[in-house]
Amino acid sequence: MTLHKIASIVSVYKNDSLRTLQPAIESLLNQTQEVDIFVQEDGSVQEDVDKYLSDLYQEQKIHYLGKRKKNFGLAVSLNELLDVVIKKGYEYIARMDSDDISIVNRIEKQYQFMLKNEDIDVVGGYIEEFGDGFEYQKVVRYPLKHEEMYRFFAKRVPLAHVSAFYRKSFFDKAGLYPVSSPTNEDTLMWLEGFKNGCKFANISEVLIKVRVSSDFFSRRGGAKKAISDFKDRVRVIRELGYNYNAYGYAAALLIVNLVPGWAKKILYKRLR
């Protein structure tokens, strides 16, 4: 059996702390399946974060460390990293957020799944949200098969971006991350994937532990973001030809995004 090199791409920015970044990176270094780590510093980062990453790069534990002074956002950073790993010939590429934790055999499970399912272009999995300094825990489950995920996308994203494990063929078909939306690069990426014949799947296990900060719900709001999210959701509905019921869900989501943080917390726990 041919063994493939696997890359993991991680974007880091000024608000990332060493306290949360270090366990995220270590969860990749300690995987049961070897994965090469590629990092982009999206603008200036905290001094101890830069030193930590630079030391790992010097120790050859990180295979690439891009740095630039200006912040351009997640989509641009991921595209820069994709350009690097694709040119280096990586067939499989895993996403990882800078403050989440990959289960120790996450990469192995997704890689083996891809070997057994050659028609799949991207596979994700369940995530487990946990409170950072406060009591909170929730497992978020997603549909497993392509057809179910397509139907689910009429309401919300069918695959957790932080758990995405791509075959290079996904980008051959769909292109790189769209940069037209400031907050919904994953929504628009899945849109391009479905439009261009990519095959989706999820594994029915928790693969990622997602850190939730105490201000998580209050930050998931604001009229500007809510309207941007609504426009992207309407675009998905129109371009994939969902029925009019999908507009009702989009309107409900807009209302949820506009309510105060305390109310959003209640709705988020019940509806997600």
Identify residue 45 by its one-letter amino acid code: V
Between the CA of residue 206 and those of 54, 106, 138, 272, what are the distances in Å?
31, 9, 11, 16
**How big is the chain, counted in residues?**
272
Tell me how far apart the alpha carbons of residues 175 and 169 are, in angstroms, rounded to a whole number: 9
Residues 201-219 pLDDT 10s: 999 999 999 998 866 555 5
Indicate if the pLDDT at residue 1 is higher than 50: no
In this prediction, residues 171-187 reach a mean pLDDT of 92
> Averaged over 76-96, what is the pLDDT?
97
Strands 64-68 and 36-42, sheet pairing: parallel
C-alpha 109/C-alpha 93 separation (Å) is: 14
pLDDT at 250: 85
pLDDT for 269: 57
Q: Please check whether residue 81 is in contact with residue 100, taking contact to mean a CB–CB distance below 8 angstroms.
A: no
CA angle 256, 259, 263 (to 5 degrees): 90
**What gap in Å lies between CA 264 and CA 10, rounded to an integer?**
29
Segment 35-50 shows an average pLDDT of 97
The tally of CA atoms less than 13 A away on the side-chain side of residue 250 is: 20
Q: Which has more pLDDT, 252 or 91?
A: 91
Q: Is-contact 199 146, C-beta < 8 A?
A: yes
Q: Is 125 helix (H, G, I), strand (E, B) or coil?
A: strand
**Stated pTM of the model:** 0.91
Query: Within a 10 A sphere around the Cβ of 260, how many other Cβ atoms?
Result: 10
User: How many Cβ atoms from other residues are within 10 Å of residue 9's Cβ?
Assistant: 25
Which residue bears the tokens 């693969």?
Answer: 207
List Cβ neighbours of 224 (8 Å cut-off, separation of 6 or more): none
| Contact residues for 92 (Cβ-Cβ < 8 A; gap 6+) | 4, 5, 6, 7, 111, 114, 165, 166, 167, 168
Identify the band that residue 223 occupies on the pLDDT scale cut at 50, 70 and 90: confident
pLDDT over 90 at 35, yes or no? yes
Q: What is the mean pLDDT of the chain?
A: 91
pLDDT over threshold 90, residue 248: no
Considering only CA atoms, give the Rg of the chain. 18
CA distance 131 to 109: 25
Reply yes or no on whether the pLDDT at 82 is more than 70: yes
209 forms beta bridges with 101, 128
d(CA 96, CA 127): 12
pLDDT in tens, 131-148: 888 888 999 999 999 999
pLDDT of residue 163: 98
Q: Give the per-residue pLDDT at 260.
A: 59
